[in-house]
Amino acid sequence: MSDASPSTARIPDEYLPNIDKVLIPAEDIAAKLDELAAEIDRDYAGRELLLVGVLKGAIFVVSDLHRRLGVPAAVDFMAVSSYGSATTSSGVVRILKDLDTQIEGQDVLVVEDIVDSGLTLDYLLKNLRSRRPASVEVLSLLTKPSRREVDLPIRYVGFEVPDVFVVGYGLDFAEHYRGLSDIVTLKPEAYGG
Ligand code: 5GP
């Protein structure tokens, strides 16, 4: 993370009272995506990738990563809903939008915003593997290792975060805060925590 003081300049005034602090500034996210894209380029040299973005939280990770890749990559999206409270997942997952394409024989990279308990991703990986891709790996911008309930192979991790509720850069609370450039924490009273 950056040594510079995190700035709140890009946060709408309406959101400011609810925000606790900037956890990961946009500049750090960009630098991390540069690193991860270079690693992916090395790992997949001579191959073609299918990026599978998990809606809606991964929208910015997918687009910012995709533009940095040197290997040819196609992109597709899935939307899943995991039942549970507003801030925790139950592991019961429903597919709201499936892939448009067949993935049999393809090198798939699932792109996630955050892996918390891991239950949603566990379901998704089992589902995707049943379609016989050549390979399936995972990139998650954020991970909360202390919350993990299932052991998951996350090949590319952006940042480990503590057990706090974060929003911004694709992550929402009740559809708010998704468009923030930075990843921030909310005051507990702002999400009923
Ligand atoms: P899991 O199944 O790993 O517990 O939860 C995964 C999903 O829960 C994420 O894709 C995300 O939608 C949501 N989630 C988990 N932790 C956070 C968080 O700190 N902030 C936000 N906004 N969503 C979270």
- Assess contact for 44 and 106: CB atoms under 8 A: no
CA-closest residue to ligand 1 atom 15: 116
pLDDT in tens, 14-54: 999 999 999 999 999 999 999 999 999 999 999 999 999 99
Annotated active-site residue in 28, 113, 116, 182 = 116
Distance in angstroms (rounded) separating the CA atoms of residues 141 and 183: 11
pLDDT value, residue 133: 98
CATH of residue 111: 3.40.50.2020
Does residue 144 sit within a domain? yes
pLDDT of residue 3 exceeding 70, the answer is no
Does residue 1 sit within a domain? no
Length of the chain: 193
Does residue 80 sit within a domain? yes
CA 42 to chain CA mean position, Å: 21
| Token digits of residue 56 | 């809606």
How many structural domains are present in the chain?
Answer: 1
Does residue 87 sit within a domain? yes
Run of H or E residues at 29: helix 26-43
Residue 85 one-letter amino acid: S
Does residue 35 sit within a domain? yes
CA-closest residue to ligand 1 atom 20: 166
Pocket flag, ligand 1, residue 167 (CB < 6 Å): yes
Q: Closest ligand 1 atom to the C-alpha of 167?
A: 22
Does residue 123 sit within a domain? yes
Provide the domain limits for residue 90. Answer: 6-191
CA 57 / ligand 1 centre spacing (Å) = 9
C-alpha dist (Å) from residue 47 to 41, 43, 74, 125, 164: 9, 9, 12, 21, 37
Q: Closest ligand 1 atom to the C-alpha of 120?
A: 2
Run of H or E residues at 70: none
Pocket flag, ligand 1, residue 57 (CB < 6 Å): yes
Does residue 82 sit within a domain? yes
Does residue 24 sit within a domain? yes
Phi and psi at 107, nearest 5°, equal -90, 110
- Nearest by Cα to 170 from 146, 150, 140: 140
The structure's pTM equals: 0.92
| Token digits of residue 127 | 């589902």
Q: What is the mean pLDDT of the chain?
A: 91
| Token digits of residue 169 | 């850069």
Pocket flag, ligand 1, residue 61 (CB < 6 Å): no
pLDDT value, residue 9: 61
- 13 catalytic? Reply is no
